[in-house]
């Protein structure tokens, strides 16, 4: 399996520490052969080699993605080297303090809560042990038997390596914290923008609802209501004429019947504009099939029935499709429109593609009709994408998530 960025960083540190342990093992073996004939040095060399092997074992859980176990193996190896080396080669205690602190520094980026407290506590105990062992005793006599130039050389070679590892871990943790803080600030800023857009969207929805109510009132007043009033007045006149001129009264009644049919159609069209019965009874696919006849366009339908969903979801998709068709009929000079509908990946989606004159999408994506579509879909958690260019037609794509549980 591929390693996460954090696992890659830990792996590099492990490999660096393994290299330091290997180098220390080889140098101590060389010192044993060339300068110091000591069984204590042999035991110390074996201990350092064993700790290096322990670090190598820690690579196995790291490959499985188990960062905590890998860090635990590595921490145990460092603590073991620190205590044993400080107790046998007392001159190395400043170097061993770095080895003892390294696990606690690394754990600040991998652990939290009680586990982090445990790493810090053990590192403090090991550091204290290292100082006491290095300063208060020299039971083995290895420090006295080691020439001063060898002691200085070992400290000069290995202190920068361990200090660099400690500094590298601190730097990495700082960069991770800065990245996390930056991500949190970006998320907060994005949430603020979404909240502002939500407030604007709500205001637009309220304004659109008011406009729709005024439009319905005007259509009823200027259309069906006026027609019904005139029918009522005409019926009063026909009633009085029935006795004087029955034939004329019958002709007027025939005309009034036609007027009643016209009024009925006006009321029906108005009701369908609010919420078509076919949508609630038969679903999206059938509602779109029945709606396209009212547009003066050559329309091709590619409708794969998405099934039944919540009424507000179906209404959002239906009216957005109609809005896109209306825009194509009014503004695009299109000859042909393709309407597609389907469901997949947890969404109901639609597309309306026309071959019209197109437009610069960035300049018109905020117009009333498109804002209305965005608000409709956004209210159900969906989204809208509009692709267009002058002379290349327009593609309106929308989707709404559905509950697949």
The yes-or-no verdict on residue 405 having pLDDT over 50 is: no
For residue 302, what pLDDT is reported? 94
Q: 195-277 — its CATH code?
A: 1.20.5
pTM over 0.85? The answer is: no
* Residue 295 φ/ψ region, left for φ over 0, alpha for ψ in the -120 to 50 degree band, beta for the rest: beta
Half-sphere exposure of 75 toward its Cβ, with a 13 Å CA cutoff?
25
Residues in the chain: 405
**Architecture of the domain defined by 280-401:** 2-Layer Sandwich (3.30)
pLDDT in tens, 67-86: 999 999 999 999 999 999 99
The yes-or-no verdict on residue 349 having pLDDT over 90 is: yes
Mean pLDDT for the chain overall:
85
- List where CATH 3.30.565.10 sits in the chain: 280-401
For residue 364, what pLDDT is reported? 46
| 378-383 average pLDDT score | 85
| 161-186 average pLDDT score | 86
Q: Residue 247 — very low, low, confident or very high, per pLDDT cuts 50/70/90? A: confident
When mean pLDDT is compared over 16-25, 194-203, 210-219, the highest value belongs to 16-25
Q: What share of the chain is helix, strand, coil (3-state, %, to 5)?
A: 75, 10, 15
Helix (H) or strand (E) holding 61: helix 39-63
Instruction: Name, in order, each residue with C-beta under 8 angstroms of 12's C-beta and a sequence gap of 6 or more.
Output: none
For residue 397, what pLDDT is reported? 95
The yes-or-no verdict on residue 370 having pLDDT over 90 is: no
Give me 182's structure tokens. 């930056």
Phi, psi angles (nearest 5°) of residue 388: -160, 160
Q: How far apart are CA 254 and CA 117, in angstroms?
A: 94
The yes-or-no verdict on residue 368 having pLDDT over 80 is: no
CA distances 381 to 179, 183, 204, 255, 377, Å, are 29, 23, 17, 51, 6
The yes-or-no verdict on residue 47 having pLDDT over 60 is: yes
pLDDT in tens, 271-320: 555 677 888 889 999 999 988 877 888 999 999 999 999 888 998 899 89
- Number of C-beta neighbours around residue 94 at 10 A: 13
- List where CATH 1.20.5 sits in the chain: 195-277
Q: How far apart are CA 234 and CA 227, in angstroms?
A: 10
């Amino acid at each position: 399996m591929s390693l996460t960025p954090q696992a890659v960083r830990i792996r590099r540190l492990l490999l660096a520490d393994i290299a330091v342990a290997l180098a220390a093992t080889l140098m101590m073996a060389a010192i044993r052969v060339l300068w110091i004939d000591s069984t204590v040095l042999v035991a110390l060399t074996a201990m350092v080699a064993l700790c290096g092997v322990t670090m190598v074992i820690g690579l196995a859980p790291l490959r499985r993605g188990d960062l905590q176990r890998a860090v635990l193996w590595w921490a145990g190896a460092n603590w073991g080297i620190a205590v044993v080396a400080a107790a046998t080669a007392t001159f190395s205690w400043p170097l061993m303090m770095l080895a003892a602190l390294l696990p606690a520094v690394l754990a600040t980026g991998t652990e939290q809560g009680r586990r982090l407290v445990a790493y810090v506590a053990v590192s403090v105990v090991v550091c204290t042990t290292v100082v006491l062992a290095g300063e208060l005793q020299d039971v083995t006599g290895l420090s006295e038997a080691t020439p001063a130039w060898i002691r200085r050389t070992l400290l000069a070679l290995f202190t920068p390596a361990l200090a660099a590892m400690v500094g590298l871990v601190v730097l990495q943790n700082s960069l991770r914290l800065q990245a996390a803080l930056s991500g949190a600030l970006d998320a907060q800023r994005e949430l603020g923008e979404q909240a502002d857009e939500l407030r604007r969207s709500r205001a637009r929805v309220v304004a659109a609802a008011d406009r729709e109510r005024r439009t319905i009132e005007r259509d009823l007043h200027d259309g069906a209501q006026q027609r019904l009033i005139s029918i009522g007045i005409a019926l009063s006149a026909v009633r009085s004429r029935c006795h004087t001129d029955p034939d004329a009264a019958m002709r007027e009644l025939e005309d009034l019947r036609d007027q009643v049919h016209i009024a009925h159609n006006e009321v029906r069209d108005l009701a369908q504009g609010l919420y078509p019965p076919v949508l609630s009874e038969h679903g999206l696919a059938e509602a779109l099939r029945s709606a396209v006849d009212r547009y003066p366009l050559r329309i091709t339908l590619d409708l794969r029935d998405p099934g039944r969903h919540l009424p507000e979801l179906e209404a959002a998709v239906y009216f957005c499709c109609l809005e896109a068709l209306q825009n194509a009929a009014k503004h695009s000079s299109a000859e042909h429109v393709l309407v597609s509908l389907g469901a997949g990946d947890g969404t109901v989606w639609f597309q309306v593609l026309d071959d019209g004159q197109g437009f610069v999408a960035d300049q018109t994506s905020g117009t009333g009709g498109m804002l209305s579509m965005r608000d409709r879909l956004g209210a159900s958690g969906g989204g809208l994408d509009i692709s267009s260019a002058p002379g290349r037609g327009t593609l309106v794509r929308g989707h709404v998530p559905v509950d697949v549980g």
